Amino acid sequence: MFEHVFDIDWEVDVTASEAQLRDMVARCEHLKAAAAAAQARATALWAQKRRAAEEAAGTPSRKRGRGLASEIALARLDAPVTGNTHLGMANALVYEMPHTLAALESGVLTEYRASLIVKQSACLTVEDRRALDAELCANPDSLTGLGNARIEAAAAAIAARLDAAAVVERKNKAAQSAGAWTRCAANGMVYLTFLMPLRQGVGVYAALKREADTTGDGRPRGQVMTDTLYERVTARPAEQPSPVAVNLVLADTTLFGEDDSPGWVQGYGPVPAVVARTLVSDAVTDETAKATLRRLYRHPDSGQLVAMESKARIFPKGLRAFIGLRDQTCRTPYCNAPIRHYDHTTPAREGGATSAGNGAGSCEACNYAKEAPGWTVRTDDHHGRHTATYTTPTGATYRSTAPPLPGPTRRHSAIEARLSVLLAQHRAA
């Protein structure tokens, strides 16, 4: 069916000329675009067959298609939350935008540029979407040389002309997707990202910029802006910590300076040992802070948390905290979403225990997806490694293993650690 897509020699000839290597790079890019088009066709057909099978089985219409988006994402080795986007794009290209699909298949468009066109047309009726598709992509030559920004702008302009009201309504609805996120940055820093309506976002940035322009105390502009943001959000001076709970996990050997294994801050990621010790020191010496210590035990081989059990059907608070520290993010493979639900992998109705071994942290979407017919999740502990195996309705299996806790791979005494440093210095000399 797709034999021509894979007609390429994957061996790279080290004696090839620059022109030949350029040709191979171009052919690979063409192959990726053609593969994306084939993937879209296969995805749309998969969804069609699933709907037909569920209709034949008498599945209520409101329950049809549950879990399919997660299956699609897992098949692409992608986070399940992206499944609806992949499915929506496939259906749009196959059933409503044939010219865009043809341009993708021929290599004129990349998959990302095709997705920009689909995104800008999402608010239109089927008829207007097809009109946009024909106007923008019917002539492939008109797309040659257009980059991401120009492709997106052209699609947006056509959409606004075809149905201005729909575009305005989409922008109004976009406010409901506002949010805030953090992600790890280097050197003990963090990126704090806000998505908000244009008026609010510009207003916040203008206020921070104005503060930086009028403050002349020698601090860099960026520091003035971030300090101002912290002070106005927390109502505290920038140098004073905000009273919020921060789950910092680190080995006792790291805490007492016997090794330099990184620590782990929940919701952030690994932090250098010196930063972890500084966080602990600041919390202990700050009279206004409330620092608590919880002792955790990890397996000597895998480094994962050991199990604990409860007879309750609902995970108690302590066990939920335990699972959150062990799993760190949603346990579904490729999903990095924060944990929202703590659930039984083998359902309680089937005799599943309320235990750490039978529990897993999930984001809301993944937890609902695995409740769809045909999904099963099983967990096991082998040499201290908590592994979850997900089986989809089509029989595919995917596995995820809980990450190890911070700490050295083998425990060293303070004397051993000091001797290793002295030996390293001696060899360097």
Report residue 161: phi and psi, to 5°.
Answer: -70, -40
Q: What is the mean pLDDT of residues 120-129?
A: 93
pLDDT of residue 427: 45
pLDDT(426) > 50: no
What is the rounded distance in angstroms from the CA atom of residue 409 to the CA atom of residue 47? Answer: 46
Q: What percent of the chain has pLDDT over 70?
A: 82
Model pLDDT for residues 207-225, shown as the tens digit of each residue: 999 988 888 788 898 999 9
Q: Which pLDDT score, from 0 to 100, does residue 46 have?
A: 97
Query: Could you report how far apart the first and last alpha carbons of the chain are, in Å?
Result: 65
Q: Which of 49-53, 153-157, 237-241 has the lowest mean pLDDT?
A: 237-241
Tens digits of residue pLDDT in 253-270: 777 777 777 877 776 677
pLDDT of residue 421: 46
pLDDT > 90 in the chain, percent? 36
Q: Are 219 and 239 in contact (CB under 8 A)?
A: no
Instruction: Note the pLDDT of residue 131.
Output: 96
Task: Give the range among 85-89, 143-147, 281-285, 376-380 with minimum mean pLDDT.
Answer: 281-285
Rounded to 5°, the CA angle 354-360-363 comes to 130
Across the range 106-121, mean pLDDT stands at 95
Which segment of 158-162, 166-170, 386-390 scores lowest on mean pLDDT?
Answer: 166-170
What pLDDT was estimated at residue 40? 97
Q: What angle do CA 355, 356, 358 make, to 5 degrees?
A: 65
* Per-residue 3-state assignment (H helix, E strand, C coil) for the chain: CCHHHHCCCCCCCCCCCHHHHHHHHHHHHHHHHHHHHHHHHHHHHHHHHHHHHHHHCCCCHHHCCCCHHHHHHHHCCCCHHHHHHHHHHHHHHHHCCHHHHHHHHCCCCCHHHHHHHHHHCCCCCHHHHHHHHHHHHCCHHHHCCCCHHHHHHHHHHHHHHHCHHHHHHHHHHHHHHCEEEEEECCCCCEEEEEECCHHHHHHHHHHHHHHHHHCCCCCCHHHHHHHHHHHHHHCCCCCCCCCCCCCEECCHHHHCCCCCCCEEECCCEEECHHHHHHHHHHHHHCCCCCCCCCCCCECCCCCCECCCECCCCCCCHHHHHHHHHHHCCCCCCCCCCCCCEEEECCCHHHCCCCECCCEEEECHHHHHHCCCCCCEEEEEEECCEEEEEEECCCCCEEEEECCCCCCCCCCCCHHHHHHHHHHHHHHHC
In this predicted structure, what is the pLDDT of residue 61? Answer: 87
